[in-house]
Structure 1
C-alpha cells in the first residue's frame, strides 16, 4: 500500500477505538452503576494509554512525510493536515500524563457530582487541585514556550487565541449589560410559567421536540444525566437531558440543545466516517448548532406557538393561556445563578466570567483553594447577586472536573457563530416561520446540514462560518438579534 493508504487504514482503527472510549464516557454518565467508578477509571485510563500510543506511533510521522507527495485531492490534503496536527500535539504529551489525566478525570466526575449534591466544596477541591496541576503540565508541554492557555484552547477551537476572544468579549459586554439592565428595568415583565409538570410527561414532550428537529431515532437515543450532553458520531449519536419538575423548559430546551449537537454529527458526509474529517470541526461550530437550535429556532415566536399548544394539551393547570404570553415566558430574563438555565441576554456574561477565571487558573495567578472566593466575588460584581450555595456557584459545571480547561469560551463563540448563521438562514429560508408554527424545524436543519454539517472537519472553523453566512465572523448579528427580540418582548 501507499503511505497514504497505510495511514488511512491505521487512522480508521484509531477513530474506532476513540469512539469506543467515548461510549464508555456516555455509559458512565447515564447508566453505569455508582459503585463501578474505580473500575471505570481504570478502563478509561487503559483506553487512553492505547490511544496515546497509537496517536504517537513514529510510523505516523513517516507515513505523513511519504503521503505528502501522493495526494492532490483537497479532502486528502485536509486529512493529512488534521492527522499531522494531532500527531505533533500528542507527541508533546508524555504517555504517563495522558494516562493519569484520563484516570483522574474519570474518578473526578463522581467526586464532583457528590460534592455538588452535598454543596461540599472542600470535598472536591483536593481533586481539582490535582487536575489543575496536571493540566498546567499538559499546557506547558503543548505550548512549547508559547501561551499555556492558548495551547489548551487550540484543542477545542483550532486557530483561536485568548487575546482575540477577549477582544470579542470586550466588544460584546457593553451592549449585553445595557440590554440586561433595560430588560430587568422594564415596566412589564413576562409571567413565570406555573402548573403541574410530571417527569414522564416532560420527557414525552421532549421526545416530540427532538423529532420536530429531525433527530434520527434509528441512530440515537435519549437518557437522563446530571449535566446534559451528547455523545457519538457517524451512525450512533446519543443525547441526554434532565428533568426539573417545576420547570419543564429545562428539560425541553436541554433536549433541543443536545439534538443540535447530534444532528451535526449525524449530518456529516458518511464518506468521512472513521476518518479525521468525520467529526465537527470545532467546539465553537458545534455549539453554534446547539444554540441556533435551542434559541433562534426553538425559542422563536413561531416554534413556541406550536410548543404552547402541545404543552397546553399535555399539562394540567398551566397559568399561561395565550401563545404571546407563553413566548414571553419562554424568553423571560431573570437574575439567576445557573449558566445552563440562563436566558440569551445573560448567557455570554456567564461564559466571560469563567473564561477569565480559568485563564488565571492555568497561568498560576489563581489556585484551586482560592477559586470559590474568586468565583463568588466575580459573580456578585457581574450579576449583582451573592452566590447562596456552591451548587449554584463554583460546583455547578462539570467541565473543570473532567479537565476541560479552554472549553468555556467556545460556548460564547458558538453564540456568535449562530448569530451569523441565523441571519443567513433566515434570508435563504424566508418561509421558515410557517413550518415552525406546525412543529417542523427540518427546513432549518436541512439548511444547516447543507451549509455546515456535511462538511465535517473539511473546512476550518472561521472559514466554514464565513462561507455559510456569506460575511466575516462578527458579534454584530448576534447582538442585533438579541436587541430586536428582547426589545420587542419587553417593549423597550
Structure 2
C-alpha cells in the first residue's frame, strides 16, 4: 500500500512537470518572440533533463516491484507507469536532452525554411533530428524493429506491418472513389473575402457548440493548428485565410475534438498516468469524428450555412445543399490538413512510407524532397509546385514525431467505428446537429470513451465504446455512402 501510494505521488509531480513542458511548447508556437528561440531550446533541454531523471529514478523500479494495487484503476496506473519507466530507462539521459534541444530549435528552422521555400536550409537540421531519433528508436527497440518502437510511443501495441496491411485495404477503395468523384460534376466553391475577426467569432461559436470549455482553455493562432494540455488547462490553436474560412472553422472543430477528449477525462485521473488520451489514434478518432462525421454532415452544414450568413452576409452560396457540397468539395490539392475525407488518408500513406524508409536508413534525408515529389506525382497525378506544398508543409518531422503520421489514418478508422455506434445510440443525431446542438453526441463520446483516459489499451478503448473490434469497413462504408449521394455517382 505504501509503495503504491509513494509511486502515484512521485508520478503526480512528474506529470505536472510534463504539463509545464507542454505549456512551453504551446507558448513557442503562439506567443514567444522570434528572437527567443535559442533560449527556449535551452529551457526545453533543461526541463527534459529533469523529467528524464525522474522517469528513470531507481525508486520507481523498487516501488513497482513492491506495489500492490487495490483496484482496476490502480492496476492500470501501475501498468502505464511500468511501460513508461521501462522505455525511459532505455534512453540515455544525454540523448533525451539533446533531442529536446534540437527539436525545439528545429521548429524555428523549419518555419523559416517553409516561409522562404528553401528545403536546403532545413535539411541539415532535419538530418540531425533523424539521426537522433534513429538512436532513440534503436535504444527503445532493443534489437527489434526501430520504426515499431517509435510507433509504439503513439499507438501502443501497433506495428508498421499491421498499419501497412490496413493501408493496403484502404488504398484501392479510396483511389477508386476519388477517381469517380473527380470525374463527376465539381462542387461549387467560395469566391468571397472573409475578414479575420468574423472567422474567429464563428470559430469560437463552433468550439462552444461542440462542448469546448473556454473557462479551462483558450483559442489562439498558429502556423499549424494543434491542441495542448490536459485536465483543467487544455488549449487549442487555429489559423485563418481570407479566401478560405473553412480552414479556420474545421481546424477549430478538429482541435476541439482533441481538447474535449482531454477535458472529458475523469477528474480523478488528473495528473496520473491515466489522465491523458490513451493514444494518438484514439485521440485522432475524436478530432475526426467531430470535424467530419458531425461537422461536415449535411445536417450540421445547414446550421453552419445560416450562421455564416448571419456573420458575413451574402457570400455567394445561395442555398444549403450547395453549401454542403462546397464544404465537402473533392478537388486536387497539396495540403494534408486541407484535404477532403477521401484523399486525406492518401496523404498520410505517403508520409508513413517515407518516414519508415528514413528510420530504416533506406532513404537519406538529402533525397527526401525528390522521393516526396515522385511519390506525390504517382499518387495524385500532378507535380508538387513548391516546397511549402510538399516536403515542408508539416511540422511533425522537425519535432521528431516519427511514427505519428499513421495514427491520423488509424484515427479515421476508429472514428468510422465510433460513428456507426453513435448513430445507433443517438437516433436524433441529424435533427440535433441541424439545430447546432451537439450535446447528445458529445455526451455519448464522453461517457463511452473520453472519461476513461488511458484506463484501457487503445484497441480495448474502441471495443469498449462500440462493442466491436476496430475495422476499416465502417469508414469505407460511410465514405462510399456519403460521396455517392453527394456527387450522385
Q: Do both share a fold (TM > 0.5)?
A: yes
2:61 is the alignment partner of 1:61: yes
Counterpart in the other structure of 2:455: 458
Counterpart in the other structure of 1:372: 369
Instruction: Tell me by how many angstroms 1:438 deviates.
Output: 1.0
Q: Which runs of 4+ in 1 moved over 3 A?
A: none
SS at match of 1:91: helix
Once the two structures are superposed, residues 274-298 of structure 1 have per-residue CA deviations (whole angstroms, 9 ceiling, x without a partner) of 1000000000000000000000000
Counterpart in the other structure of 1:135: 133
Once the two structures are superposed, residues 462-484 of structure 1 have per-residue CA deviations (whole angstroms, 9 ceiling, x without a partner) of 11101211211100000000000
Unmatched runs of 5 consecutive residues or more in structure 1: none
1:338 aligned to 335, 340, 351, which one?
Answer: 335
1:196–1:316 contact (8 Å) kept in structure 2: no
Q: Structure 2: how far apart are the matches of 1:223 and 1:83?
A: 33
Instruction: Tell me by how many angstroms 1:131 deviates.
Output: 0.3
Q: Structure 2: how far apart are the matches of 1:80 and 1:51?
A: 18
2:412 is the alignment partner of 1:398: no
Counterpart in the other structure of 1:230: 227
Alignment of 1:9-158 (within 5 A): 9-67=9-67, 70-158=68-156
Once the two structures are superposed, residues 120-177 of structure 1 have per-residue CA deviations (whole angstroms, 9 ceiling, x without a partner) of 0010000000000000000100000000000000000000000001000000100000
Once the two structures are superposed, residues 49-76 of structure 1 have per-residue CA deviations (whole angstroms, 9 ceiling, x without a partner) of 0000000000000000000xx2231111
2:358 is the alignment partner of 1:356: no
Instruction: Tell me by how many angstroms 1:318 deviates.
Output: 1.2
Counterpart in the other structure of 2:318: 321
Q: Structure 1: how far apart are the matches of 2:445 and 2:167?
A: 26
Normalised by the length of structure 1, the TM-score is 0.99
2:69–2:78 contact (8 Å) kept in structure 1: no
CA-atom RMSD in angstroms: 0.7
1:44–1:106 contact (8 Å) kept in structure 2: yes
SS at match of 1:398: coil
1:196–1:317 contact (8 Å) kept in structure 2: no
Segment drifting more, 298-307 vs 189-198: 189-198
Instruction: Tell me by how many angstroms 1:317 deviates.
Output: 4.2
Once the two structures are superposed, residues 334-369 of structure 1 have per-residue CA deviations (whole angstroms, 9 ceiling, x without a partner) of 010000000000000000110000000000000110
Once the two structures are superposed, residues 67-94 of structure 1 have per-residue CA deviations (whole angstroms, 9 ceiling, x without a partner) of 0xx2231111111111000000000000
Once the two structures are superposed, residues 84-126 of structure 1 have per-residue CA deviations (whole angstroms, 9 ceiling, x without a partner) of 0000000000001000000000000000001001100010000
Counterpart in the other structure of 1:291: 288
Q: Structure 2: how far apart are the matches of 1:273 and 1:390?
A: 41
SS at match of 1:137: helix
Q: Structure 1: how far apart are the matches of 2:37 and 2:222?
A: 16
Q: Structure 2: how far apart are the matches of 1:368 and 1:164?
A: 25
Once the two structures are superposed, residues 275-333 of structure 1 have per-residue CA deviations (whole angstroms, 9 ceiling, x without a partner) of 00000000000000000000000000010000000111211441111000000000000
Unmatched runs of 5 consecutive residues or more in structure 2: none
2:270 is the alignment partner of 1:267: no
2:216 is the alignment partner of 1:219: yes
1:468 aligned to 448, 465, 470, which one?
Answer: 465
Q: Structure 1: how far apart are the matches of 2:469 and 2:56?
A: 36
Q: Structure 2: how far apart are the matches of 1:19 and 1:385?
A: 43
SS at match of 2:234: strand
Counterpart in the other structure of 1:178: 176
2:184 is the alignment partner of 1:194: no
1:195–1:315 contact (8 Å) kept in structure 2: no
Instruction: Tell me by how many angstroms 1:383 deviates.
Output: 0.5
Segment drifting more, 38-47 vs 432-441: 432-441
Q: Structure 2: how far apart are the matches of 1:191 and 1:460?
A: 43
Q: Structure 1: how far apart are the matches of 2:69 and 2:110?
A: 47
Q: Structure 1: how far apart are the matches of 2:70 and 2:148?
A: 32
Counterpart in the other structure of 1:411: 408
Once the two structures are superposed, residues 13-60 of structure 1 have per-residue CA deviations (whole angstroms, 9 ceiling, x without a partner) of 000000000000000000011110000000000000000000000000
Aligned residues: 489
Normalised by the length of structure 2, the TM-score is 0.99
Counterpart in the other structure of 2:481: 484
